[in-house]
Structure 1
Amino acid sequence: MTATASNQARPWTAEIALRMRRLFLLKLGGTIAFTWIFFIGYFQLLRHPTQQPITMPLTALDLLIPFQPYTLVAYLSLWFYIGFAPGLQRNFAELVVFGLWEAALCLSGLAVFYVFPTAVPALTFDVSGFPGFAMLQGVDATGNAFPSMHVAVAIFTAMHVEDVLRRARVPWTLRLLNVLWFLAIAWSTLAVRQHVVLDVIGGAMLGMAFAVPSLRWRPRSDVPMARADPLPAAFANRTNL
């Protein structure tokens, strides 16, 4: 039986479990380290912009969207959600290529912040009394607005997760949940007043600009894992939980 036929014959639950177990520690540690490194650059540009940030304009849609403090949960869930895409990569080669594409996405966003610093309009009301918002304002100020990296990374993740779920023949309900999670994150950036509509559009365009080619130019996922994974056997055994 070929690798492709074997993958298709395997139940979707077994395929997803296999992907999640494979190189688990490497995926977990790599995602944490990657996020930490990104935040170093992000906060450096946030606190030391190269010029006076330009305030992003409000659109008519921005004026219609009410402040919804409870959506902060969806906003913060991004940092859990982004772990699914690398976590579902099937072998070391896929994981490395995925990481390189995501790094290119993040570097592009930071380059825009460096050349074109922006900020969202100042709030006209005090939100510090709402749970979690005092911390949010102290950590993630309203700079680095356009494009929304929250949305860019979320849509990049959503498209990669959808690709895996589709090829694994996962039920449509779980695929819909992935889409709804992305939409909740994107909506929350507006509802908690961290971004405006133009930021979200820019972030979605940036994320798709890297997601589409990254799904086209990547290692073949139907190559047998023992041949496709160049990790030493001892390391692979420690990370294959």
Structure 2
Amino acid sequence: MTEWLPYLPIVVAPFWIMLNLAINRHVSRRSRHHAFDLSIDARFPFLAIFALPYFSAYILGLMGYILMWRHPDLGRVLVGYVFLVAVGSICYLLFPSRVTRYENLIVAGPSTAMLAWFQRLSGPYNAFPSMHIAYCLYSALISWHYAGGPTGVCLTLWVLLVGVSTLFTKQHYLIDLLAGAVVGVVGYMTVIRLL
């Protein structure tokens, strides 16, 4: 394995963040946005306590990379992450989406403070597909494949918690989660089966 490969995502991460923010800004200026809400989405109340598991998605989404840090197949796993970034970016540009959520939160503790900050930064756009779920499920599947059962089970349960948290924080609709799961599975299948 090339010695610099494990460090590549650390160097690329700021550019990925800037890409996401640029796409978000572009999408926010569009006159029409899709909302993929179903009647069941209204049944999920806003619960600020779910902000913590929601933000844990950023750790879980990287677990595939972390678990594979010095593994010979790290390059393959990174190709999967690139696939996820590409699919998410294309979907956001072709199907600009937004979610109706609680804006201008009254900050009453760490959970609402974090969520209010995130909402100011990102806006209600780029909801379909849920890349929180895509990255998290991809990491869980990579862990099932390379690390085995106990790690895979733990990360899969974590994915479910993140999924529920996106609904209770009103950051995504159920359809967004299902689409994100499809993207995560296809990314995994691309890496494992085709490379």
**TM-score (norm. length: structure 2):** 0.85
Percent sequence identity is: 21
Coordinate RMSD, CA, aligned:
2.5
Q: How does 1:21-60 map to 2 (within 5 A)?
A: 27=6, 29-49=7-27, 51-60=30-39
Q: C-alpha separation between the residues in 2 aligned to 1:52 and 1:142?
A: 14
Q: C-alpha separation between the residues in 2 aligned to 1:23 and 1:131?
A: 41
Deviation of residue 74 (structure 1)?
1.0
Matched residue pairs, number? 190
Residue matched to 1:71: 50
Deviation of residue 138 (structure 1)?
1.2
Deviation of residue 91 (structure 1)?
4.7
Q: How does 1:14-163 map to 2 (within 5 A)?
A: 27=6, 29-49=7-27, 51-89=30-68, 91=70, 93-123=72-102, 126-129=104-107, 130-163=112-145
Task: Answer whether contact 2:54 2:166 (CA < 8 A) is retained.
Answer: yes
Alignment match of 2:194 (pick from 187, 195, 217): 217
| Superposed CA offset, 1:126-185 (max 9, x none) | 52422322211111211011111111111111110111222xxx5x3x432211111111
Q: C-alpha separation between the residues in 2 aligned to 1:58 and 1:86?
A: 32
1:145 partner SS: coil
Unaligned runs of 5+ in 2: none
**TM-score (norm. length: structure 1):** 0.70
Task: Answer whether contact 1:75 1:185 (CA < 8 A) is retained.
Answer: yes
Unaligned runs of 5+ in 1: 1-21, 219-241
2:73 partner SS: helix
Residues 185 and 122 of structure 1: is their aligned pair in 2 closer, same or farther, counting only changes over 3 Å?
closer
Residues 34 and 151 of structure 1: is their aligned pair in 2 closer, same or farther, counting only changes over 3 Å?
farther
